[in-house]
Amino acid sequence: MYEIVHKSDLAHNIKLFKVYAPDIAKKAKPGQFVIVRNNEQGERIPLTIADYDRHKGTITIIFQEVGKSTIDMGKFEPGDKFLDFVGPLGKPSEIGKYGKIVCVGGGIGVAPIHPILRALYEKENYIISILGARNSDLLIWEEKIKAFSHETYLMTDDGSYGEKGLVTDALAKIISQQDIDMVLAIGPLAMMQAVSEVTRLKQIKTLVSLNPIMLDGTGMCGACRVKIGNENKFACVDGPEFDGHLVEWENAKQRAKMFKEQEGLALNYKNN
């Protein structure tokens, strides 16, 4: 169980694993996530499910090597196994026929948006996708996204691919020219906040997927607490999707930095 059956490099420091987890693959739905742990000393890492194959019993996860645990995980090869691979967790995305939807993926957020927009496409929604990355080398899954999109816009910060600019530049242009029923954004906190501010002007329903620090994934520890409007919510059981106009973004960004010093010490210790 939890054996890596396929590994590929999508971009610099971005890895894709297909993991044999038939019980999870059988129940997984778009928008849900898993929590993985490499070994007894490893931290628990929440990763939104990028794809699933019920027939083969596999779950696809995509991650970026940014800290000690993800760098160690990146060294895994086919045949290696995770100690823990728990899921599916969280509430699935609400898939229905809404009309014209803009799906915004930033960085590795492009991966978890894939099963959601695919499901929305199959419900006969009109899908407009905006994919963004710092440069062309970090833009992933373009063809997979295009396969389930009626329109696709590619944005890079440096202009090395697609158009030069931010995903919000493309979004602002689209909503000024078309009537949009819903926007879904997955990516860095700053990007999702910026998307929410753009859509707030026209009061377009906007969903974001939050991926804070998590421990047990069942709502017991409170580590993934987020402030939504006047309420405290737990991303693991109440999310991961929330109304972007209600998220208290400064609180979310502050909590995301809580263990930055410890993460740096762990990484330095590993390198030394």
The residues with which 265 forms a beta bridge, in sequence order, are: none
What is the pLDDT, as a whole number, of residue 53?
Answer: 96
Contact indicator for 12, 140 with CB cutoff of 8 Å: no
What is the pLDDT, as a whole number, of residue 210?
Answer: 87
What is the pLDDT, as a whole number, of residue 208?
Answer: 95
pTM as predicted: 0.87
Report residue 202 as tokens: 């026209």
Query: What are the phi and psi torsion angles at 104 (to 5°)?
Result: -115, 120
What is the pLDDT, as a whole number, of residue 108?
Answer: 87
DSSP string across 114-149: HHHHHHHHHTT-EEEEEEEESSGGG---HHHHHTT-
* Residue 49 three-state SS: coil
Report residue 258 as tokens: 């809580």
What is the pLDDT, as a whole number, of residue 261?
Answer: 52
Closest CA to 49 of 66, 36, 62, 65: 62
Separation CA 211–CA 231 (nearest Å): 18
pLDDT tens over the chain, length 272 residues:
899 999 999 988 899 999 999 999 999 999 999 999 988 877 888 899 999 999 999 999 999 998 888 899 999 999 999 999 999 999 999 999 999 999 999 988 999 999 999 999 999 999 999 999 999 989 999 999 999 999 999 999 999 999 999 999 999 999 999 999 999 999 999 999 999 999 998 999 999 998 766 666 777 777 778 889 888 888 878 888 999 999 988 877 786 666 555 555 555 665 55
Separation CA 185–CA 194 (nearest Å): 10
What is the pLDDT, as a whole number, of residue 249?
Answer: 84
Please tell me the chain's helix, strand, coil percentages from 3-state DSSP, rounded to the nearest 5: 30, 30, 40
Contact indicator for 102, 183 with CB cutoff of 8 Å: yes
What is the pLDDT, as a whole number, of residue 267?
Answer: 58
Report residue 48 as tokens: 């939104």
For residues 198-232, b (16+ Cβ closer than 10 Å) or e, as one string? Answer: bbeeeebebbbbbbbbbeebeeeeebbbbbbeeee
For residues 107-123, b (16+ Cβ closer than 10 Å) or e, as one string? Answer: bbbbbbbbbbbbbbbee
Which residues, in sequence order, are CB contacts of 172 under 8 Å at separation 6+?
198
Separation CA 263–CA 254 (nearest Å): 15
Q: Looking up tokens 């991966």, which residue turns up? A: 111
Closest CA to 38 of 52, 22, 17, 56: 17
